[in-house]
C-alpha cells in the first residue's frame, strides 16, 4: 500500500423531504459565515443523505441480526476447537464486526480490510479505502488555516480518500475543533492515540468517514476563529460546544472501538439530517449527556436519521442519553448498560426505537429503575411512538416501557435469524473501547 510519510421508487414517500428547503441555523452549526462553498457543500450533503436513506430500515436490522448469530456460532466452534487442540488462549471475536478483522495477526499490513467490516446503517462507510496511507508523526496543532504537514489537522483536510494512521503513541490537544473532510479514516490501531484536554472532532456536511481505535476525553469548548475544513476552504467558526464527536448534516459514518469520557457537552451528537451511521464497540464512562440524536423537536429533517448502536459498553459514571433520540429510526442492539443515574434510552418527537438483546442493569435507586424516558409529550401522545424491546435482559429491577404498534420483523428461515438475547452481551461487548493492538499479533 502506498504511504505518505510527512512529519428506487420506494423513496417516493420521502419526496417531501427531498424538496425540503435546507435552513441551516448557522450558530448551531458553528458557522459564523455561511459562504457559497458551505452552501454548496450543505446541498450536496443533503442529497447524499436522501440517497442513503433506507425506506425499510427493518431490513438492515434483520441483516445485522443474522450476522450476530453467525459470529456467535462461529466463535463457539472456534473456542471448542482451541480447547481441544491447543488449550485455548487464542484470539476470540464473537461479534460480526470484530470477527471480520480483529484476529488477523497481519492487520497492520492489511488495514484496508477494516473498511469492509461495517454493519448496520453505517455499513457503507469505507473511509479512506483505496487512498494512500498518511502517517501522523506530530501531535502539535498550531495553525488552524495552514496546518503543518504531519499533523492530524493537515491529514483530515487533504483531498480525496486518505487512510490516516499514527507513527507512535501521542496525546493531541486540539486548539480548535478538528474539521474532518469526506473519505477519511482515522485509524489509531498500533498506538495509544488520545484526543484530550482540547477541542473535539467535527464531521459537518461530509460523507464517508470512519473513526476507529482512538481515545477521546476531557474535551472542552474553544473560542471560534478561522479554521480549515478542507483542502480548498477555510471559514470563520463560532465557539465550539465541547462535544467529543459532533456529526452535523453528514452521511455514511462509522465510529468503532473508540473510548470516550468526561467531555463538556455530549460524547457523540448526531444532528441536522445526518443518517446512515453506526456506533459500535465503543466504551463510554464518566459523563452526563452521552449520545444526542436530533437536536430539535422543530427540525423534522431528522426524520431521515437512521442509526445503529451495537456492541457498546455504557460503563461507570454515566447519567443519561444512551441515546436520547428525536425523529428517525434507531436500532439499539446487544449493548451492555451497566450504569446510569437517571435513565438509559430517551426521546421526543416520536422516534422509532428498536431495542434488541441488550443487558440493562438498573441502579440501586428505586426512582431510576426505568430504562426509558419520554419528553415533551403525555401518555396520550407517546403511546403511539414505536418503542420496542425484544430479548433484552433486565437486571436489578430494570424496566423498559414499550409503546406503539409492533415493529414488524420478518425472520426468513435459513437466512435471517432472531437476534441473540441479552445473556450473550458480555461476550459480544468484551472488547469494547480502543484496543491495544501490537504489530504482528491479533488485536
Q: Which residues are catalytic?
A: 321
Bridge partners (DSSP) of residue 93 are: none
Contacts 24+ apart (CB under 8 A), 410-417: 410/58, 410/62, 411/62, 411/65, 412/62, 415/66, 416/62, 416/63, 416/65, 416/66, 417/65, 417/66, 417/69
Distances (CA, A) of 56 to 52, 60, 339, 353: 12, 8, 32, 14
Report yes or no: 323 and 348 within 8 Å, Cβ to Cβ.
no
30: DSSP letter: T
Cβ 213 vs Cβ 437: under 8 Å: yes
State the residue for C-alpha cell 436519521.
Answer: 305
Which candidate, 369, 114, 364, 47, places its Cα nearest to that of 255? 114
Cβ 147 vs Cβ 153: under 8 Å: yes
- Tell me the Ramachandran region of residue 324: left when phi exceeds 0, alpha when psi lies from -120 to 50, beta otherwise: beta
Alpha-carbon distance of 285 to 262, in angstroms, equals: 7
Peptide bond preceding 323 in cis form (omega within 30 of 0): yes
Q: Per the structure block, which three cell numbers stand in for 305? A: 436519521
In 3D space, the residue among 31, 59, 11 whose CA is nearest the CA of residue 249 turns out to be: 31
| Interatomic CA distance for residues 63 and 374, integer angstroms | 29
Helices and strands: H and E segment counts in the chain: 8, 32
Amino acid at each position: 500500500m502506498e504511504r505518505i510519510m510527512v512529519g428506487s421508487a420506494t423513496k417516493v414517500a420521502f419526496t417531501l423531504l427531498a424538496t425540503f428547503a435546507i435552513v441551516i441555523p448557522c450558530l448551531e452549526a458553528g458557522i459564523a459565515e455561511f459562504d457559497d462553498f458551505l452552501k454548496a457543500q450543505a446541498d450536496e450533503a443533503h442529497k447524499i443523505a436522501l440517497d442513503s436513506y433506507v425506506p425499510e430500515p427493518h431490513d438492515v436490522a434483520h441483516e445485522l441480526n443474522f450476522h450476530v448469530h453467525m459470529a456467535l456460532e462461529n466463535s463457539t466452534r472456534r473456542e471448542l476447537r482451541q480447547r481441544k487442540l491447543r488449550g485455548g488462549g487464542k484470539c476470540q471475536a464473537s461479534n460480526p464486526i470484530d470477527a471480520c478483522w480483529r484476529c488477523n495477526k497481519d492487520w497492520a499490513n492489511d488495514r484496508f480490510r477494516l473498511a469492509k467490516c461495517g454493519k448496520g446503517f453505517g455499513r457503507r462507510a469505507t473511509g479512506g479505502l483505496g487512498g494512500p496511507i498518511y502517517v501522523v508523526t506530530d501531535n502539535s496543532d498550531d495553525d488552524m488555516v495552514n496546518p503543518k504537514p504531519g499533523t492530524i489537522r493537515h491529514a483530515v483536510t487533504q483531498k480525496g480518500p486518505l487512510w490516516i494512521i499514527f507513527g507512535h503513541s501521542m496525546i493531541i490537544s486540539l486548539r480548535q475543533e478538528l474539521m474532518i473532510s469526506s473519505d477519511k479514516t482515522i485509524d489509531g490501531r498500533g498506538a495509544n492515540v488520545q484526543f484530550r484536554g482540547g477541542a473535539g472532532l467535527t464531521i459537518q456536511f461530509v460523507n464517508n468517514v470512519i473513526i476507529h481505535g482512538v481515545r477521546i476525553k476531557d474535551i472542552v469548548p474553544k473560542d471560534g476563529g478561522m479554521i480549515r475544513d478542507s483542502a480548498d476552504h477555510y471559514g470563520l467558526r463560532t465557539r465550539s460546544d465541547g462535544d467529543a464527536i459532533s456529526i452535523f448534516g453528514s452521511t455514511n459514518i462509522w465510529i468503532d472501538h473508540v473510548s470516550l469520557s468526561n467531555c463538556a457537552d455530549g460524547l457523540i451528537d448526531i444532528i441536522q439530517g445526518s443518517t446512515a451511521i453506526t456506533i459500535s464497540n465503543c466504551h463510554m464512562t464518566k459523563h452526563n449527556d452521552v449520545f444526542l440524536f436530533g437536536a430539535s423537536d422543530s427540525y423534522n429533517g431528522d426524520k431521515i436519521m437512521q442509526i445503529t448502536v451495537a456492541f457498546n459498553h455504557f460503563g461507570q459514571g454515566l447519567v443519561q442519553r444512551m441515546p436520547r433520540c428525536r425523529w428517525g429510526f434507531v436500532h439499539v442492539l446487544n449493548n451492555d448498560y451497566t450504569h446510569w443515574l437517571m435513565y438509559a434510552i430517551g426521546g421526543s418527537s416520536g422516534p422509532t426505537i428498536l431495542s434488541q438483546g441488550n443487558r440493562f442493569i438498573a441502579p440501586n435507586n428505586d426512582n431510576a429503575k426505568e430504562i426509558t424516558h419520554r419528553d415533551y409529550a403525555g401518555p396520550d401522545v407517546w403511546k403511539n411512538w414505536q418503542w420496542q424491546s425484544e430479548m433484552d435482559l433486565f437486571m436489578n429491577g430494570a424496566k423498559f416501557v414499550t409503546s406503539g404498534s409492533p415493529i414488524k420483523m420478518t425472520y426468513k428461515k435459513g437466512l435471517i435469524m432472531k437476534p441473540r438475547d441479552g445473556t450473550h452481551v458480555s461476550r459480544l461487548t468484551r472488547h469494547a473501547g480502543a484496543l491495544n493492538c501490537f504489530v504482528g499479533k491479533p488485536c
